[in-house]
Amino acid sequence: MPHQTRTPRSAGIVRMIAEHTVLGNLYDLRFTFSLLVVLIICAATAMLSVSNVQERHRESAALSQQANHTANLENRKLVLSTPSLSFLFDGQEDRLPKYVIVTPDFIDYPIEDISARPMIEPYIRVDWAFIVIYFYGVLAILLTFDLISRPRESGTLAMVLSQNVSRGIFFLGSYAGAFLTLGPAVLLGLLIYSLVAHLHGERASTAGEAGQYVAAFVLSLLYMSAVALMGLAASAAFRKSASALACAFLVWASLTIVLPAGASICSNLIAHVHSFNDLNTRIGSARARYLSRLPAVWSMDVERILGQPGLTQQGKQEAIARYQQEILEKDAAAIEGYKREVREQRADYLAKLKARDRLESQLGIISPAEAFQQAVESALGTGMKHWENFVRSAETYEPAYTQYVTEKRSQLTEKANFEGFIMEVSGVRVRSVGWIDYRSVDFDRKTLPPFQELKPSIRANFVTAVPACVVLICINGLLGLFALWAVRAGRVL
Amino acid sequence: MRREAHLTGLILLIARKRLALNLVSGRFVFVTLLLLATMLGSSFVWQRRLSEQRELYEAARAKEAFAIDDARYYEQVRLGLHKPPEPLSVWASGAGELFGSSVLVSGKYGSPRITAREKFEAGSHLDAPDFSRLVILLIGLLALLLSYDTICGEREDGILQLCVAQPASRLVILLGEYAGCVVTLVTPLLLAVAAVLAIHLPTNSAALSREEWVRVGLIVLASAVFGSALIWMGLTISAAVRQSSTAFAVAFVLWVALAILSPNVSLWVAQRMRPIPPSQDSLSSDGVFGLRREGPEETASPERQVESQLRDEALRRKFEQAAVNDFLRLWTPTGAFLALAQTAARTDVESHRNFLARGRALDAQLRAWQKEKLRLYPERETFYKPSWGPLDISGLPASPSVSTGLDASLTRTGRFWAALICFNGIFAAASAVAFARYDVRFQ
């Protein structure tokens, strides 16, 4: 019975403190001014983001057309499309390759000359996630850094706790009040963002996409909650509000900016990938080996065949034809051996890059901002997740392309570009081939097997978002426990 | 004289007090440790990158020398001008190879081809900030953290009222606080410099020359002047608001605006003002198998010439973007400092421009040489017979030196020094005016 009477009373006190906190925030000029600025930034960011996405759509369409036109029997380029909700979170798609190169038995990525890159790499994203992490994050800290320290400074905390209100209840009420202030602020921001995007032609067109919007909102709230708990913990740990503010900002900046950078450096040190120059050197060695395996065409061999006693003219022609066939077979074997070595080296290099990237995202996930980004990326199917799905689609397509190319090459061998030389000895011509290039062979491109990008279902996207979401919830839990401990252990007066 | 000595004594007293308070504060210790850790990590990464760039440079030069030795007729003779990797890129990386690092000239057989030795692959680049960017981020942050609550924090504690009650003018108090903050800031800055040198010197195969030491000194001095400007900014904020929490919020927003947003905003504006038209060779890479076809023998093909023209046009636009960016950078202390550091380290856009100009001059010299040789050996332009013997390459133009002299660098840094000093002056004046009107009462 005492427990039953205590619970409604505790709930009532929590509600009272939460209401007081919410009202205090709403009347605080600092909060209302900051929120107004954030909402304006939401609208501006939405316009910029939509403009970027639409530009990327156009570029992707133009590149796809160009890729279809330039597909050949050496390779086919498959262009990355732009996912529908990437204006919410684009996952730095500008830094990802725009296309993959499908060759027989291998999928490669483009290698660009760095002088062809733009001056600024768009590594500061302009999207909803950017607003949540940087602007709403700062807002959450401004809201919560003095929720405990200011009542302590003014003496109110002592009076409240003397009313038989436990510190835990006070903390819970303050947290609830902060959450109830930030939640509607985030919702308002997302509504403005969506409205501006809608007016510029980007919107959720299916129920599934609407569900993804809701997922982005829920994940934003989880992130905001983590930052609010950071602010509350700092507020409880420091006596002066200014010190609490400085600490909260430093912790936020460390977790948001420094920790991901540290994860990148650590992953580079732990899972070091040999430089591209090293790969180039290995490919150079493979090339030297392939050149040494190319058979030499000697005039004395040809003369020896022609000078064989007892051979008729037809016999000589057949002998020369056999010699030629032997040369071409050895040429083809050397070329194939080189290609195999290059594929192995390249595949090894790409696998190491992938392992390093995976380690980086695993190390960085302890940052709430990184966990939030990974969860949103998975839920929306944009950024790296979109890229991984695209590569899987290309891997599914590659066997069909290989089969098609093998058949076509056998039909159109004579039209290929044979790099090498022809030696003429005593009126007989023998060819030595250093490389066979099918790029310029003309064929009907409409007969190429069609490429279909596999788009995972919304449900599959949500499932892949679960681990990052769980990490975000755990971060909330840990920060909450720490904040609670700080409140319980801190001085009241 | 006695009065001046008395004033100096007061300033030193206040400075000592501020120094003592700052050195024991948690934020100073935290940011200093963070600065040291990031400097060490970043220097290590940049040093490794420098070694890889050196290997690429040596390989490019060796390849060119081999190709010249192997040439059998005059059309095969191509020259290359290669920009060596800057040893001071650890301090300010600048544009790197974004404007190209090799100019391959063919004389009468084609226009100069500008390429970069470094290849870009999505996900393979580790973007570690260099020394100058870490100074902007962390020294800038520390400068603001040390100074944002010097006035308003002391007012809240009741100390300021007592200070002003002493026979010391407000200007003297302000100068004393400033001096204390500057001395505090110099300590982590020198530690950061020591950290970079500790990584850079032992792993550098060639020791730094006297000129390079002077350049490093310029960068360190510029860092101190930049930190000083931000301390004045922090003092201005502190003298303009009543509460230290408000001062911190304003200082933090300014730090984000200056250290994170402004370098990118100026580049973004420059890109919008001088856009580069989309290239028709966006799908030009054939991946690793496409590397086989790179080489001077391909430059003569019509396809490659069109690609080359498009690339040259894109490069010209990039230079225009860089010029706009340089103009916009002058208007913030972070931009001015970054530009100064890059100019001192010879990684600025102007050094690339000079390098490409030397490449074009080499092309003209090669043309003249080809004309002379073909006059003597007209039959050896595109044909070779073993009985003719080796090719006569006497008088082949030598690749000129590509480094920028110290005098030229010092001249170019003049306007950036002026900008930094102006910022110091403006913020110092603003803080003096704000403090002169400040209500120092405790409540």
Indicate yes or no: CB of A109 within 8 angstroms of CB of B122: yes
Contact A221, A186 (CB under 8 A): yes
Residues 6+ apart with CB under 8 A from B62: none
Task: Give residues 365 to 394 of A whose Cβ lies within 8 Å of B.
Answer: none
A396 and B CB contact within 8 Å: no
Of A223, A218, A219, the closest CA to residue A141 belongs to A223
Burial class (CB in 10 A: 0-12, 13-18, 19+), B431: buried
Coil, strand or helix: which one is A126? coil
| Residue A123 confidence (pLDDT) above 60 | no
pLDDT digits (tens, 9 = 90+) for A155-207: 888 888 888 788 888 899 999 999 999 999 999 999 999 999 999 888 888 88
- CA Rg value for chain B: 28
CA nearest to B267 within chain A:
A120
pLDDT digits (tens, 9 = 90+) for B265-316: 888 788 888 887 766 557 778 888 877 665 544 445 666 677 777 777 888 8
Q: What are the chain A neighbours of B244 within 8 Å (beta carbons)? A: 240, 242
Query: Min CA distance, B9 vs chain A (Å)?
Result: 31
Indicate yes or no: CB of A242 within 8 angstroms of CB of B153: yes
Helix count and strand count (H, E) for chain A: 16, 6
Of B62, B306, B278, the closest CA to residue A59 belongs to B278
Of A354, A379, A404, the closest CA to residue A469 belongs to A379
| Residue A466 confidence (pLDDT) above 90 | yes
Give me the pLDDT at residue A416, please.
86
What's the gap between Cα A319 and its chain centre?
59
Task: Give residues 100 to 129 of A whose Cβ lies within 8 Å of B.
Answer: 101, 103, 108-121, 123-124
CA separation, residue B111 to residues B78, B114, B298 (Å): 11, 10, 12
Span of A62-71, B124-133, B157-166 with lowest mean pLDDT: B124-133
Indicate yes or no: CB of B121 within 8 angstroms of CB of A245: no
Give the residue-averaged pLDDT of B399-422. Answer: 86
CA separation, residue B330 to residues A227, A481, B130, B274, B325 (Å): 36, 48, 20, 18, 9
Total Cβ atoms within 10 A of residue A25: 22
What's the gap between Cα B132 and its chain centre?
7
Place of tokens 């392939």: A290
Query: Min CA distance, A324 vs chain B (Å)?
Result: 26
pLDDT digits (tens, 9 = 90+) for B329-362: 889 999 999 999 999 999 988 888 989 899 999 9
Place of tokens 């006693």: A309
Total Cβ atoms within 10 A of residue B349: 22
What is chain A's mean pLDDT, rounded? 87
pLDDT digits (tens, 9 = 90+) for B379-398: 888 877 777 788 888 888 88
Give me the pLDDT at residue A7, please.
64
Indicate yes or no: CB of A357 within 8 angstroms of CB of B123: yes
The CA distance from B349 to A174, in Å, is 53
Single-letter code of the amino acid located at B80:
G
| Residue B428 confidence (pLDDT) above 60 | yes
A271 and B CB contact within 8 Å: no
A250 and B CB contact within 8 Å: yes
Give me the pLDDT at residue A226, please.
95
Contact B392, B373 (CB under 8 A): yes
**B232 against B2, higher pLDDT:** B232
DSSP classification of residue A89: -
Total Cβ atoms within 10 A of residue A318: 12
Single-letter code of the amino acid located at B342:
Q
Give the residue-averaged pLDDT of B185-210. Answer: 84
